Structure 1
Amino acid sequence: MSIWFTEKQTENFGITMKINKTYVSEQTEFQKLDMVETEEFGNMLILDGMVMTTQKDEFVYHEMVAHVPLFTHPNPKHVLVVGGGDGGVIREVLKHPSVEKAVLVEIDGKVIEYSKKYLPEIAVDLENPRVEVKVDDGFMHIATSENEYDVIMVDSTEPVGPAAKLFEKGFYEGISKALKEDGIFVAQTDNPWFTPELISQVFSDVSEIFPITRLYTANIPTYPSGLWTFTIGSKKHDPLEVPAERFHDIETKYWTPQLHTAAFALPKFVSDLLK
């Protein structure tokens, strides 16, 4: 008998995958955590019934969260990742030699523990000497930081449970305070097919705080609708005005210098959400 997992992405739509085995099914202090092996996408991390990452397509999300802001900033040295306990964003951050220190603040230590065990190629750099891992509340870490980071990346789940406050305007105001005078931040902001109101609200909130605010997209097949958005807020540096000589060679599977710019070219129904 085949076993299938279905993520109910809306009340009327879901995505289904065949499961070979279940490694972990646990209620942590913060959320329901499942780690499974799928037939199509390899090992997969699920939080509160939502797909977080898989071995097959993880590189898209992690590369686009990390490389767009890091290449936009002329000299990123001190980087913060809020969430991201699987370690994928950290792995990509460390491909930039200018980064002297990357701080990861993940609220759920179990995400880190099981990612190291079952997603080792994603969590590969969590013990790198340039990385500081804190099992703590990212919201509170931001609230107590000031003029500290060059780039902040918010690698959160969807806006439910412990991640809901990471989509509030007050959080973005805290991020602005935690950034240096030419700092940049990026956050995943869900998809335009099922959560258009969220994209509109976040873009409006970030635009009131950051003089340069832009939206870009990527194709991630295991995320709702497959079309995913990221909102970037910058104090000085425009991701659409990065000089060509700033792009240095790094090993990627999705991001390229050409895609860096192309990702900001939005379908009209998406750009309409930003008006």
Structure 2
Amino acid sequence: MELWFTEKQTEAFGITGKVKRTLHNEKTAFQQLNMIETEQFGNMLLLDGMVMTTERDEFVYHEMLVHVPLFTHPNPQKVLVVGGGDGGTIREVLQHPTVTKVVQVEIDGKVVEYSKQHLPHISSAYGNPRAELIIGDGFMHILNSSDEYDIILVDSTEPVGPAASLFTKGFYAGISKALKKDGIFVAQTDNPWFKGDLIRSAVQDTKEIFPIARLYTCNIPTYPSGMWTFTLGSKTYDPLEVEASRFFELNTKYYTPELHHASFVLPRFVKDLCK
């Protein structure tokens, strides 16, 4: 008998993959957590039935969330990651030698625990002396911070359950307060095929708070529609004006200096969401 997992991405569409075995199944205090081993994408983390990351394609999301803002800022030293319990975001942040500290606030410690066990390559940066892990509420951490971070990265699930508050204008305003005077933030903002209204709202809210607001995209095969967006808000630095001399060699599989700029070139239907 074959076992298949399907993520129902809308009421009429989903993505499916063949499962070798179930590695872990638990209802945590915050969400349903599953780890499965798949034929096509290796070990896969699911939260509330949604694909969060896989061994085979995780590098796209983590590299694009991190390296676009960190290369845009000329001297990123202190970075905050909200969410991202699999550890891939802090792994990428720590490739930047100017970073002296990355603070991660993850609400569900079970995500960290089972990522260490079943996604060791993704979670490999846990224990790094420049990284601090806080199991707690990222929303409240932001509200209690002021003029503290050079970069804030919102590595959240979709806007349901514990992540719902991370897609509000009030949260973006709190991020602005928590950033230094030349700070930058990036949040994952889902896909334009199914969640256009979410993207439109996120970009508009960011425009009202930050002098510079940009949307950029990448391709992630296991995420809904395969096309994913990130919304960037910056107080000073424009990601489109990063000079070639700023870039240095990284251990990446997706991100390149050329792609840094190209990712902001949007299809018309996506560009229309930013008006």
Q: What TM-score does the superposition give when structure 1 sets the normalisation length? A: 1.00
Letter in 2 for 1:158: E
Alpha-carbon distance, 1:36 to partner:
0.5
5+ residue gaps in structure 2? none
Tell me the SS of whatever aligns to 1:45.
strand
Tell me the SS of whatever aligns to 1:225.
coil
5+ residue gaps in structure 1? none
Q: Does 1:165 find its partner at 2:165?
A: yes
| CA–CA distance in structure 2, aligned partners of residues 215 and 250 of structure 1 | 23
Tell me the SS of whatever aligns to 1:170.
helix
Alignment-derived partner of residue 7 in structure 1: 7
Letter in 2 for 1:186: V
Alpha-carbon distance, 1:226 to partner:
0.2
Alignment-derived partner of residue 227 in structure 1: 227
| CA–CA distance in structure 2, aligned partners of residues 127 and 154 of structure 1 | 21
Alignment-derived partner of residue 207 in structure 1: 207
Encode CA deviations 1:184-220: one digit per residue, 9 max, x unaligned.
Answer: 0000000000010000001000100000000000000
Alignment-derived partner of residue 27 in structure 2: 27
Encode CA deviations 1:15-42: one digit per residue, 9 max, x unaligned.
Answer: 0010101011100000000000000000
Alpha-carbon distance, 1:64 to partner:
0.2
Q: What TM-score does the superposition give when structure 2 sets the normalisation length? A: 1.00
RMSD: 0.3
| CA–CA distance in structure 1, aligned partners of residues 202 and 100 of structure 2 | 30
**How do residues 243-258 of structure 1 correspond to structure 2 at under 5 angstroms?**
243-258=243-258
Percent of aligned positions that are identical: 70
Alignment-derived partner of residue 153 in structure 1: 153
**How do residues 118-137 of structure 1 correspond to structure 2 at under 5 angstroms?**
118-137=118-137
Tell me the SS of whatever aligns to 2:218.
strand
Encode CA deviations 1:105-154: one digit per residue, 9 max, x unaligned.
Answer: 00000000000000000000011000000000000000000000000000
| CA–CA distance in structure 2, aligned partners of residues 70 and 207 of structure 1 | 20
| CA–CA distance in structure 2, aligned partners of residues 80 and 248 of structure 1 | 22
Alignment-derived partner of residue 55 in structure 2: 55
Letter in 1 for 2:33: L
Tell me the SS of whatever aligns to 1:207.
helix
Q: Does 1:242 find its partner at 2:242?
A: yes
**How do residues 45-194 of structure 1 correspond to structure 2 at under 5 angstroms?**
45-194=45-194
Tell me the SS of whatever aligns to 1:258.
helix
Tell me the SS of whatever aligns to 2:209.
coil
Q: Does 1:195 find its partner at 2:213?
A: no
Tell me the SS of whatever aligns to 1:9.
strand
| CA–CA distance in structure 2, aligned partners of residues 112 and 35 of structure 1 | 12
Q: Does 1:216 find its partner at 2:220?
A: no
Alignment-derived partner of residue 267 in structure 2: 267
| CA–CA distance in structure 2, aligned partners of residues 110 and 206 of structure 1 | 31
